[in-house]
Amino acid sequence: MPPTFPGSSRRDFLKLAGISSAAIALSACGTPELPPTPEGSGSPTPEREVPRGNPRKIPREKTLMLAFGDGSDVGICNPYASGFNHQRGMAAMLEPLYFYSTFTGETIPWLADGDPVYADDYMSVTIKTRSDAYWSDGTPFGAKDVAFTLTMLKDEKNAAMTYSADIREWVKSAEATDEHTVTITFTKPAPRFVFDYLYFKNDLGIFLVPEHIFSKEKNQYGFLFYDPAKKWPVVTGPYQVVDWTVQRRLLDRRDDWWAVKAGLAELPGPERIIVVPFTDPTNIAQQLINDELDSSLDLRPPVIKQVVEQNPKIIAWSGREEPYGYVDWWPQSLFFNCAVKPYDDPDIRRAVNHAIDRQQLVEIGYEGAGITSELPFPDFPPLRKYLDAVKPLLERYPTNAYDLGEVERIMTSKGYTRDAENLWVDEKGARVDATIYGIVDLVNDYGAILAEQLRAAGFDASLQTPSDSYTRMADGSAKLFLFGFAGAIADPYPSLELMHSRHYSKVGEAGDISSRWRNEEFDRTVEQMASLPVDDPQELPLFLQAMEIYLRELPHTPLVQWLHRIPYNTRYWTGWPTADDPYLPGAFWFKTFALELTRLKPASG
């Protein structure tokens, strides 16, 4: 049986389990911005004087009030400069060639005019751009902007830019063959390139920059691109920054937005967006209850319950009912460091898996407002045919298989015995180190319960959330850690690619977040998938081959789906994405924010 306690609420569980017995390290509340985005990973921008704007007055009922992040990126509008962060409202200014809706599976050509045309050998692709799209300074948007952006990213001097390594790997050249035609030539067949890099979907996709401005800058990486007096930044999206301080940023609607004139979209309802820092959940909850905010970073279950109960105008993805959120693309897994003992042994990994009661993680950790996960993929509609096809493999290699008897059988077969505290020890008397590292506030909901479950099964487990947790995951000093597995959206390949041995790093060397697992057969299968277009019929049998290896080896074990429990205030604005109208994921910090804004309308009519 998993650890049980009378009236087993999360608070009672942690209190009765005993913090000292499991060495559970819990820290202050609040939700950091994770998963980390590539453009936010540079070194901090030095202090400097940031130009101020002179914004006009706009009443509250015409303003969209959001809380997210902090103000550390003040004055950085170059999407490739160190410190830029699109998640803090800036995505309202930015547009792609194509939008993609995770929940509907719909591709929406935006700055592109029609579908891309690949060469038969996938060594090049040709894309037409719209003839009626314009930058905010009146300059036509065109093929030269796409070609310039890719060429800029390919330049070795810009190696520190987000996506530079990817573009240098895949792109041989990018050329504007006429005003509205760009041809991209690849270094190798690249049937996924447009979807992987030129679409905005969730937090993915390259930013396009104005060639007529960036081509004049010698230091394109250091160019900040913010000056209200010059009407910088120059953008194609429906909003533009008009003033900015550490305390708040103001983005005003562009009533001359090209997409309205072109008949592509309606003008967004909010005349102004104000983004303020996300301080702590208690303060944010009170502001939502008081109608001082319209939305914020996603909240933990107890907090959003309180907000919904105290403000009848607050809804979430599931209306005013649990689980409040939608499935994000970041399912949570317990990662094993497969490069260190004893987790280099798949049998030990399987034993740990049998010690986990996922339903209890949801019932206590998320107070019932959650969903268990058996696979490292989100439950998105485009993925369901793959998830259904893998069910027979799950019967052979079950992940959601809580069974303390199996833990006992495996551990004793490996020569482990119990010590005086009923914990597993090897022949030298050393306990199995099952310290679990996690990022503070992302894992506190369920991580402490997980640690207690493993300890009850005999593993020397604890949850630790020090400030250097991310570093410990990246350099391999963490033997077990909790993290999300972002990748798959329209097909499973991106998530499987994250398990390819190209992401392997030696213990002690900083690298990608991974299980430090290598399997040549798995690699070959994934490489075959990489040569296919997105969702090609040949992908399914290769997927099943890869999943049999994964489930047999279990380099990490899925735990729970990550839910975005985002509050939406309908006092002033309607049209929020919900389960009844799932046109997009509801995270305003995603790169699809500009498209979401076109659906927001005044509640007053």
Instruction: Classify residue 595: in a domain, yes or no.
Output: no
**Is residue 577, in this structure, part of any structural domain at all?**
no
Burial (CB < 10 A; 0-12, 13-18, 19+), residue 335, is buried
Return d(Cα 327, Cα 565) in angstroms, integer.
9
Is the per-residue pLDDT at 23 higher than 50?
A: no
Q: What is the percent of the chain where pLDDT is above 70?
A: 92
Strand partners, 126: 117, 183
Cα–Cα distance, 556 to 480 (Å, whole number): 9
For residue 285, what is the enclosing H or E element? Answer: helix 281-289
In whole angstroms, how far apart are CA 162 and each of 100, 200, 293? 20, 15, 32
Confidence of residue 605 (pLDDT cuts 50, 70, 90): low
Q: What is the pLDDT of residues 373-389, one digit of tens each?
A: 999 999 999 999 999 99
- Cβ atoms of 254 and 138 within 8 Å: the answer is no
H or E, element range at 128 = strand 124-128
97/147 Cα distance (integer angstroms): 12
What average pLDDT is seen over the chain? 92
Q: Is residue 551 part of a domain?
A: yes
Instruction: Tell me 188's DSSP state.
Output: S
> Is 373 within a domain?
yes
- DSSP secondary structure string for all residues of 469-512: HHHHHHHT--SEEEEE----SSSSHHHHHTTSGGG---TTS---
Q: Is the per-residue pLDDT at 219 higher than 60? A: yes
**Residue 16 pLDDT:** 35
Q: Is the model more confident about 11 or about 351? A: 351
How many domains, in total, are found in the chain? 1
CA separation for the pair 148, 144 (Å, rounded)? 6
**Domain span holding position 500:** 329-561
Residue-wise pLDDT tens digits, 236-262:
999 999 999 999 999 999 999 999 999
Task: Answer with the residue of higher pLDDT: 26 or 107.
Answer: 107
Domain-located, residue 218: no
| Model pLDDT for residues 172-192, shown as the tens digit of each residue | 999 999 999 999 999 999 999
What are the pLDDT digits (tens) for 149-170? Answer: 999 999 999 999 999 999 999 9
Closest listed residue to residue 143, CA positions, set 195, 181, 172: 181
CB 261 within 8 A of CB 267: no
pLDDT over threshold 80, residue 32: no
Q: Residue 279: what pLDDT? A: 87
- Give the pLDDT of residue 485: 84
Residue 277, preceding peptide bond in cis (omega within 30° of 0): no
Look up residue 492 and give its amino acid.
Answer: P
Query: How is residue 364 annotated by DSSP?
Result: I
Band (pLDDT 50/70/90 cuts) for residue 47 is: low
CATH assignment of the domain containing 436: 3.10.105.10
Q: For 491-515, what is each residue's pLDDT tens digit?
A: 999 999 999 998 999 999 988 899 9
pLDDT of residue 152: 98
Candidates 439, 440, 434; CA nearest to 458 is 434
Q: What pLDDT is recorded for position 10?
A: 39
In a domain? residue 236: no
**Tens digits of residue pLDDT in 67-110:** 999 988 999 999 999 999 999 999 999 999 999 999 999 999 99
- Measured between alpha carbons, how far is 31 from 562 in angstroms, rounded to an integer? 13
pLDDT at 44: 40
Does 426 reside within a domain?
yes
Single-letter amino acid code for the residue at 290: N
Q: Flag whether 440 is in a domain.
A: yes
With a CB cutoff of 8 Å and minimum separation 6, the contacts of 566 are 295, 296, 297, 298, 299, 316, 317, 325, 586, 587, 588
**Interval 387-405 mean pLDDT:** 97
Quote the pLDDT of residue 39: 47
pLDDT digits (tens, 9 = 90+) for 262-291: 999 999 999 999 999 998 899 999 999 999
pLDDT of residue 21: 31
Residue 557 vs residue 485, higher pLDDT: 557
pLDDT computed for residue 27 by the predictor: 32
